[in-house]
Amino acid sequence: MKEKLFGKTLTELQQITEDLGMPKFTAKQMADWLYKKEIFSVEEMTNLSKKSRDILSDKFEVGMVAPTRVQKSTDGTKKYLFPTSGQKYVETAMIPEHERITVCVSSQVGCKMGCLFCFTAKQGFQGQLTAGEIVNQVKSIAEAGKVTNIVYMGMGEPFDNLNEVLKSLEILTSEWGFAMSPRRITVSTIGIIPGMLTFLEKSEAHLAVSLHNPFNEERQKLMPVQVAYPINEVVNEIKSWDFGRQRRVSFEYILFEGLNDSPQHVKELARLLKGLKCRINLIRFHPVPGTPLKSPAEETIQRFKDELNQKGILTTVRASRGQDIYAACGLLSTKEMTS
Ligand SMILES: C[S@@+](CC[C@H](N)C(=O)[O-])C[C@H]1O[C@@H](n2cnc3c(N)ncnc32)[C@H](O)[C@@H]1O
Ligand code: SF4
C-alpha cells in the first residue's frame, strides 16, 4: 500500500524530496497542491517534473478520503461519516451560523476517558486518528474552502492523541498549509495536564476545558479523569500561563438537573476561576440512552447563567445544534457500525 502525502508537514515533505533525490523546492510545491488546491492524484501536481511525479507516485499517493455518508439536520447542521485507515469510522459535524461555518472535528475513534454523559464514551476506545485524517475532515466536506472556524470537539480526547493533533494544527495554521488563523481554532479537553501544557507551548489556538463540576467528588463521579488530573490543578496550571491578549481560555459546563445546577455550584465555580480572564459556555445536556442524567428546566439554565455573570464571569449558553441527526455535542458515535 502507498503512503499518504496528505497530512505531512512541510518538514516531512522536505525529507521525502531529499530521500527520493528530488529538487528541494518541490516540497513547497507539493504542500501547495495538497493544502491550497484540490487534487486527488500525484499526476495532477503539474508543476513538478514528469520524472519527479513518477518517482513520487511509485511510493506515495495523495490520500484524501471522501465521506461515505452525509446527514442534514433541519437547522442546516450536517454530519459527515469518514472511514479511517484502521477500517473504522469517525463523525464530523458542520455547523452553519450566519457568516460562520464551523467544523467540529474528531481526534480519535471513540474515547478512553469514560465520561458518564458522553455517547462517544459508550463506544470505548478504538484507535487514534492521524494528522491527515483530522485535516481531511476539513478538506473533504462540501463546505471546504468556506470553513471559518474549527473546534476539536468531536469524538475523542485531543490530548490523548497529542502528536497527531499538534501536527494537524501545524498544517491548518502554517503559511504553507491552510494558513488559518489559530484564533479561529479551539481545542477542547477534559484537562489532561501534560498534554495541555505542551499544547499551550506549541500552538496558539484557543483552549476550552470541560469543567462540568467544581467539586472534587462530584466531578469524579461524572469524569473518571478527575482522579488523575483534578480540576483545581488544571485551573492552577492555566492561571500560571500567560495567554497574551488574543488567546482565549473557556470552560464548558453541561448542566445536569439536581447535580451541578445549585447556587453552591455557582459560588464554588466563582471561587475556582477567581482572577482568571475566561468565559464559561453552558451546554444543554443532550440525552444519551442508558443514563439517568437529565437537563434542568430552561429557567434554571438562565438563572445559573445570570448568577455567574453577576459574579463577574462572562457566561453564555451554547445553542444546541443538529440534535435531530445526533450531531450535537457529545452525541457523535459510530458504535452501531463498529461493534
Ligand atoms: C465530545 S467532547 C470532545 C472534546 C474533549 N474530549 C472534551 O471532553 O472536552 C466535546 C464537548 O462535548 C461535551 N459533551 C459530551 N457529552 C455531551 C452530552 N451528552 N451533551 C452535551 N455535551 C456533551 C463534552 O463535555 C465536551 O465539552
Ligand atoms: S466528553 Fe470528551 S473526554 Fe469525555 S468521553 Fe466524551 S470525548 Fe471523551
- Residue ranges and CATH numbers for the domains of the chain are 3-61 (1.10.150.530), 69-338 (3.20.20.70)
- Cα(101)–Cα(103) distance, rounded to whole angstroms? 7
pLDDT for 210 beyond 90: yes
How does residue 44 score in pLDDT terms, banded at 50, 70 and 90? very high
> Under 8 Å CB-to-CB from 165, ≥6 apart: which residues?
107, 131, 134, 152, 158, 159, 187, 199
The sign one gets for the Cα dihedral 13, 140, 169, 167 is negative
Q: Identify the residue whose C-alpha is closest to ligand 2 atom 7.
A: 156
Phi and psi of 263, rounded to 5°?
Answer: -60, -30
2-5: long-range contacts at Cβ-Cβ below 8 A with a sequence spacing of 24 or more?
A: 2/57, 2/59, 2/60, 2/61, 2/63, 3/59, 3/60, 3/61, 3/63, 4/60, 4/61, 4/62, 4/63, 4/130, 4/132, 5/30, 5/34, 5/42, 5/56, 5/60, 5/61, 5/62, 5/63
Q: Picking from 144-148, 166-170, 242-246, which range would have the lowest pLDDT averaged per residue?
A: 242-246
Could you tell me the distance, in angstroms and rounded to a whole number, from the CA of residue 31 to the centre of ligand 1?
33
Active-site residue, 329 included: yes
pLDDT for 167 beyond 60: yes
Cell representation of residue 221: 463521579
Phi and psi of 252, rounded to 5°?
Answer: -95, 140
> Under 8 Å CB-to-CB from 332, ≥6 apart: which residues?
79, 90, 91, 93, 104, 106, 119, 120, 154, 155, 326
pLDDT for 338 beyond 60: no
Ligand 2 atom with the smallest distance to the CA of 155 is: 7
User: Pairing state of beta strands 149-152 and 185-189?
Assistant: parallel
**Residue 118 Cβ < 6 Å to ligand 1:** yes
Choosing from 38, 91, 237, 336, the catalytic residue is 91
Q: Which amino acid is at 310?
A: Q
Q: Which of 115, 116, 118, 225 for mutating ligand 1's site (highest number of atoms within 8 Å of CB)?
A: 118
Phi and psi of 294, rounded to 5°?
Answer: -135, 155
Q: Give me the numbers of helices (H) and strands (E) for the chain, helices first please.
A: 13, 14
Q: Picking from 73-82, 127-136, 252-261, 315-324, which range would have the lowest pLDDT averaged per residue?
A: 315-324
pLDDT of residue 224: 98
pLDDT of residue 336: 67
pLDDT of residue 331: 85
Is 312 annotated in a binding site? The answer is no
Active-site residue, 44 included: no
Choosing from 104, 170, 329, 336, the catalytic residue is 329
**Residue 207 Cβ < 6 Å to ligand 1:** no
Q: Which of 108, 118, 283 for mutating ligand 2's site (highest number of atoms within 8 Å of CB)?
A: 118
How does residue 334 score in pLDDT terms, banded at 50, 70 and 90? confident
pLDDT for 245 beyond 80: yes
pLDDT for 141 beyond 80: yes
pLDDT for 208 beyond 90: yes
Give me the mean pLDDT over the 188-200 stretch. Answer: 98
Ligand 1 atom with the smallest distance to the CA of 189 is: 9
Closest CA to 20 of 54, 47, 50: 54
> Under 8 Å CB-to-CB from 219, ≥6 apart: which residues?
212, 213, 226, 230, 231
Range list of H helices, the chain: 10-19, 26-35, 50-59, 119-123, 131-139, 162-173, 193-202, 216-222, 225-228, 231-239, 263-273, 298-310, 335-338
**Residue 121 Cβ < 6 Å to ligand 2:** yes
Give me the mean pLDDT over the 128-132 stretch. Answer: 98
**Interaxial angle between packed helices 131-139 and 162-173, expressed in degrees from 0 to 180 and rounded to the nearest 10:** 40
The answer to whether the CB of 296 falls within 8 A of the CB of 255 is yes
Closest CA to 151 of 101, 194, 190: 101
